[in-house]
A = this chain, B = another copy of it.
Amino acid sequence: MKKIGKQTFSIKDNVFIRDTYTIVGKKEGQGPLGNKFHMVVEDDLWGEDSWEKSELKFQKTAVEKLMEANQLKKNQIDLMISGDLLNQITSSSFAARAIQLPYIGVYGACSTMALTMGLGSLLIDGGFAENIICVTSSHFCSAERQYRLPLEMGGQRHMSAQWTVTGSAAVWLSKNGSGGPRIKNVTFGKITDLGVKDANNMGAAMAPAAYDTLNQHIKDTGIDYDLIVTGDLGTVGKGIVNKMFNEDNNSIEKKYDDCGTIIFDIEKQDVHSGGSGCGCSATVFGAFLYRKLLDGDIKKLLFTSTGALHSPTATLQGESIPGIAHSVGIEI
């Protein structure tokens, strides 16, 4: 069994992260990572007649550009694994319809990027696939109106609220490669729910799940990572994770950051607690963290996407918001 410790799957063969492609919206383009993204789209509708259609264009284009840049043909790709926030993961389904690859749809809310990469690396290491494309997306406008309130209302945002990233990232995993970042260990999380019911405080809803999976992954592997990144807890959730590790006398503070706080300038961009959405950890990984690995700035990265499995219907029925986090250990 390729399993270490209680909950972590170990990748025996090499699974290389060969390339990434990221597309973001205007606000993300104005943030600290602005010049690192592969493409910035100024118009949030991107010429489409709805935000939902715009979001699927982000996802479809990210995959197409990734394939184009690497001269990848459809018959070389064994699977596409994707998911997003919209009901019935429509951005993913419609992008998969356009791209015409064998398709596995997943749902993990903002934990999707690590979920697809984890799953993809297991399928490659298991001998089933040579090349897999993992992709996810989110869009501020489509997410706000589905999960919270109509944008047209112009409601005031809570200080604990996060700003859903408009963006998509596609990641190419391959069994073939030489050098370059490799996925080594994968931990799929359990649901953790400490009773948060506030859709404007997703960071607090997800933080206990992030702590649980991080803690388990570190225990299982014993690896001393150069950088541990969650995504996307924002300032509130990041603070809770730090507090939980500190209470264990096991501080990770010095080498820990969160994609929700990396993607925006929190002070200047009026995003309150930071970024969120499937596209947040996805684009931060694809444009920034992956580059740090390639450049040798870091050698061991623990990439952990976190998801608030929030359903407006369940919340109206009095339910709290279940959190989940999936970890992918990457080394170069």
Contact A190 B101 (CB under 8 A): yes
- With the chains together, A188 CA to B78 CA distance in Å? 10
The reply on A113 being an interface residue by CB < 8 A is no
- A3: chain B residues at CB < 8 Å are 78, 128-129
A: residues with CB less than 8 A from B are: 1-3, 6-7, 9, 12, 49-50, 52-53, 75, 78-79, 83, 86-90, 93-94, 96-97, 100-109, 115, 119, 122-123, 125-130, 146, 187-191, 193, 309-314, 317, 319, 322, 324
What's the nearest-Cβ distance from chain B to residue A186, in Å? 9
- With the chains together, A17 CA to B90 CA distance in Å? 32
Q: A88-B314, A96-B190, A105-B106 are in contact. List 6 more A-B contacts (CB 8 A).
A: A1-B129, A2-B127, A3-B129, A94-B319, A97-B193, A125-B126
Q: Which 8 A-B pairs have the closest CB atoms?
A: A126-B126, A88-B311, A97-B191, A93-B309, A102-B188, A90-B311, A107-B107, A105-B107
What's the nearest-Cβ distance from chain B to residue A286, in Å? 22
- With the chains together, A152 CA to B94 CA distance in Å? 32
Contact B188 A313 (CB under 8 A): no
- With the chains together, A7 CA to B189 CA distance in Å? 29
Nearest B-chain residue to A142, judged by Cβ: B313
What's the nearest-Cβ distance from chain B to residue A82, in Å? 10
- With the chains together, A114 CA to B193 CA distance in Å? 29
**Copies of this chain in the oligomer:** 2
- A122: chain B residues at CB < 8 Å are 123, 126, 128
Contact B130 A127 (CB under 8 A): no
- With the chains together, A123 CA to B118 CA distance in Å? 12
| Chain B CB within 10 Å, residue with most, of A7, A88, A119, A310 | A88
Q: Which of B78, B190, B312 contacts A100 (CB 8 A)?
A: B190
Q: Can you sample 29 A-B contacts with CB below 8 Å? A: A1-B128, A3-B78, A86-B313, A87-B311, A88-B310, A90-B309, A90-B313, A90-B314, A93-B191, A93-B324, A94-B314, A94-B319, A94-B322, A96-B190, A97-B191, A97-B193, A100-B191, A101-B190, A102-B188, A102-B189, A102-B190, A103-B190, A104-B106, A105-B106, A105-B108, A105-B309, A106-B107, A122-B128, A125-B126
Contact B123 A189 (CB under 8 A): no
Q: Which of B7, B94, B115, B313 contacts A104 (CB 8 A)?
A: B115
- With the chains together, A9 CA to B216 CA distance in Å? 31
Contact A188 B310 (CB under 8 A): no
Contact A317 B126 (CB under 8 A): no
What's the nearest-Cβ distance from chain B to residue A177, in Å? 16
- With the chains together, A88 CA to B111 CA distance in Å? 13
- A52: chain B residues at CB < 8 Å are 313-314, 317
- A104: chain B residues at CB < 8 Å are 106, 108, 115, 119, 188
| Chain B CB within 10 Å, residue with most, of A75, A90, A93, A106 | A93
- A125: chain B residues at CB < 8 Å are 126
Q: Which of B97, B119, B127 contacts A322 (CB 8 A)?
A: B97
What's the nearest-Cβ distance from chain B to residue A58, in Å? 16
